[in-house]
Each structure stands twice: as C-alpha cells, then as structure tokens.
Amino acid sequence: MDAPGEFRKSIDDLEAIEPGQYDNIFRMFIKEKKYYYNILKRVNIDLTTANPEVFEQTKIRFETPWTTISYRAYGTTSLWWLIYLSNPGAVKNPLELIPGGTPLKVIKPAYLRNILDEIEQELTPNV
C-alpha cells in the first residue's frame, strides 16, 4: 500500500524546494489546515552490486558533517541524505558527524540525475 498524500511539488500552497531535497521523498497530507509529512516510506540505496563506474570511493580525513560532503561532491548541501543512504553503517544517526578515517561511496555527479529519477519513479505509485 502506498503512503497517502501528495508530493510537496504537487502542492501549490507550499514554497518550492530544490528537486533533490530529502523532503521530496515523502508525501504530505493536511490535517486541521496544517501540512504533515508521511514518513512511512523508505528509500534504500545499495551500492554493493552497483557498477563501480557509478560511484567513487573516498575517505573522510577529519570529522565532517554530511552536508559538507554533499557540498563538496555536488555543490549543494541538500543531497546529504543521498550520501548517507549510500553508506549504510557508516554512521547510524544522520545527525552525527562522519568520523575521520571513514570510507564513503559517493555517487558521481554524472549519474546523479539518473539516480534521483529512479528514486522518484520508485516512490510514484503505479496507477
């Protein structure tokens, strides 16, 4: 069963946000004139079987926020979640800093649009 509600980009009352932002993954619903995210949907990214051409390996030198890694890789802080989900087990809590010495897989910018499109397609129900 798909999560009820509409994706944020379909709600004219709300300000537009960048297409790659994590908020776009979840549907929203209205209750008592307030918008709420339906956070029941999950996205899993498994790079263990992905073509190595799609990502690059990097090692974090110093304790670093996910947003900094996102900015360095993609020129925006809003794709931190993509790096976090691509590295299960690196850090359990996405609010924690990435410890120095942590190896990470980062999807190459050339493949980013395809990956984001696949995620969006996965989240869109078949009608």
Query: CB within 8 A of 81, min separation 6: which ones?
Result: 22, 25, 66, 94
> For residue range 102-119, what is the model confidence (pLDDT) as tens digits?
999 999 999 998 888 888
In the chain, where are the structural domains located?
6-38, 52-123
Distance CA 63, CA 75 (A): 19
Kindly report, residue by residue over 44-73, the tens digit of the pLDDT. 777 777 888 999 999 999 999 999 999 999
pTM of this prediction?
0.75
Q: Which of 16, 94, 75, 4 is nearest to 83 (CA)?
A: 94
